[in-house]
Chain A
Amino acid sequence: MKRVLDRALSELTGPIPELSAVVLSAAPDGLIAWCWTRDDKPEVALGFAALDRAATVCLEGLGASLRRRNLMLTAEDYYISAWPLYESNELDEHAAEGNDGRLPSRLVITMVFAGDIQRGMVLLHGTRIRLHLREALDRAWERDRDLRTGLVELLSQAEEPVELIHRLVESSGVDLRRLSRLDALNAQERERVRAAIGRLRVAPLLN
C-alpha cells in the first residue's frame, strides 16, 4: 500500500507546494500506517501520531464522539490539520454499499502545510488530498485483497520471508518491481502470482 499511496500523493505534491507532510495513522493508539514528508524525514510522523493519541484521550474524557472529530493546530507559517479518513456519514454510505468498513473506520489523516497559506486553502487542499488518497486506497484495498492476504499468510509462516519472495518471483515470472504494486498487476500477472502463491503454500521448499 505504501507504493499505492506514494504514487497517488505524487499527483498532488506538485500543485500544492505548501504541503510538507501527510500521515495516515490508526486510532486510538496512533499506529502509523503510512507517511510522506517533503524532506524525507519520517520521524516527524511520530509527533503527529502522539497528537492523534492525545486528541483521542481528550475527546474520550469529554465523552465526545470520535467519529466526527477534526483537529487544527496552527503556528507561525504552519498549519496542521487532522481528520478521519472517512467522515461518519461516508462510513454509513460505505457500509450501505456492502463494503468492508473495517479498514477505513479508524484511520486518521494528518496534513502539514508550511509557508504563506490561508486557512481556507488549508481546508480546501486538505479535503482534496483526503479524497484523493481515500480513492486510491479504496481501489487498491479491494483489488489486491486476495493476493495481499495470501502473501501475508505465507510470509507470516515462512522461516525465510525474503527467500519466499525470491521464490515467488521465480515461480510467477512477475518481477519484483511489479510485485511492489499488487494493485497495478494486469489480469495475467495476477493469475500467475495467485497460482505461485498456491504452489508455495502447498510446497514452499520445492518451488
Chain B
Amino acid sequence: MALHTDMSGSFRWPTLIDYLVILDDLAVDIGLRAWIGALEVGFVGVADGRPVFAEIPGARGDTALTLLARLPAARVVPEAWTKANPNIEQDWRGLVDLSSWEAIPGRSQRLASVRSELLEFRADGRRGERSETFVDDDAELAREHKIVAQLLAWAAVEAYLGGDLESARALIVRRDSVAPSDLVSAANLERLRLRMLEDELAASVRNIGEGLG
C-alpha cells in the first residue's frame, strides 16, 4: 500500500495553501476561485507559480490572501487567468499560517490530489492554446469532430437510459459517421442491436402464444 494513503477514511478538500504549495513547483499562471457552498468568497491570481493578486469582499492584496487562507472549508476551483493589476507585496509564505496548515491531517493525500488536478488543468490549457494560437486547421477540425462525437455518444446513453432504444441507436450511428473506428462505440452499438433483436423476438413469441391461446 502506498505510504501516503489516508487510512482514516476521512476526506478533506484541498485548502488554498495546498494549491499554493504545489503551484510553487509548477510555475504557471492560474486563477484560484474560492467557494463555500454556492457562495463565492474570494479570488487569488497566481503568476509564474506565485500569488500576485487576491481579493475578497472588503479586502484586497496581502490582507485578502491571509484571510482566504484561514478558510479551510473553502473549496478552491482553478480557472484560466492572465496576470493583471498585482496587489500582493509580500511573499505568500509570510502571509499565511503554515503551522496550522501542517496540523491538518491528510496533507500528502491532498497535495497529490491538487498536483494531478493542476497537471490536468495545465494540459487542458495547452491543448486549448494550441487551437487558439496556431491556425492549425487539422487540429481544429479534429477537436470539432471530438466534441460532436462526445456529445452524441453521451446523448445515446441518455436515450438508452430513457428507454428510447431507437433514438439511442440512431445517435450512435451518427456519432460513428463523425468519428469512426471507435471500439467502445462499436461495442455499444452491437449491444443495442442485440437488445432490440431480443425484444423483438420476445414480442413475437408473446404474440404467437396469444394467438395459440
A: residues with CB less than 8 A from B are 1-3, 6-7, 10-18, 26, 29-35, 42-43, 45-46, 49, 53, 102-103, 105-107, 115-118, 121, 124, 128, 148, 151-152, 155-156, 161-162, 165-166, 175-177, 179-180
Contacts and interface: CB of A to CB of B under 8 A. Distances in A.
B160 A11 contact: no
B1 A11 contact: no
Interface of B: 1-2, 4-7, 9, 11, 109-110, 112-117, 119-120, 124, 127-128, 131-132, 140-141, 143-148, 150-158, 160-162, 168, 170-171, 174, 178, 183-184, 187-188, 191-192, 194-195
B188 A162 contact: no
> B-side binding surface: helix, strand, loop or mixed?
helix
Contacts of A11: 113, 116-117
Q: Which among A11, A103, A162, A166 has the greatest number of chain B C-beta atoms within 10 A?
A: A162
A175 B187 contact: no
A115 B3 CA distance: 13
B191 A49 contact: yes
Contacts of B154: 1-2, 33-34, 148
Given A32-B184, A124-B9, A3 B150 contact: yes
A119 to B, nearest CB: 12
A121 B192 contact: no
B1 A179 contact: no
Contact of A155 (B113, B141, B148): B148
A18 B112 CA distance: 13
B178 A26 contact: no
B131 A152 contact: no
A117 B170 contact: no
B116 A26 contact: no
Contacts of B110: 15
Contact of A121 (B5, B112, B120): B5
A30 B4 CA distance: 35
B151 A148 contact: yes
A176 B144 contact: yes
A167 to B, nearest CB: 10
Contact of A7 (B120, B131, B145, B162): B120
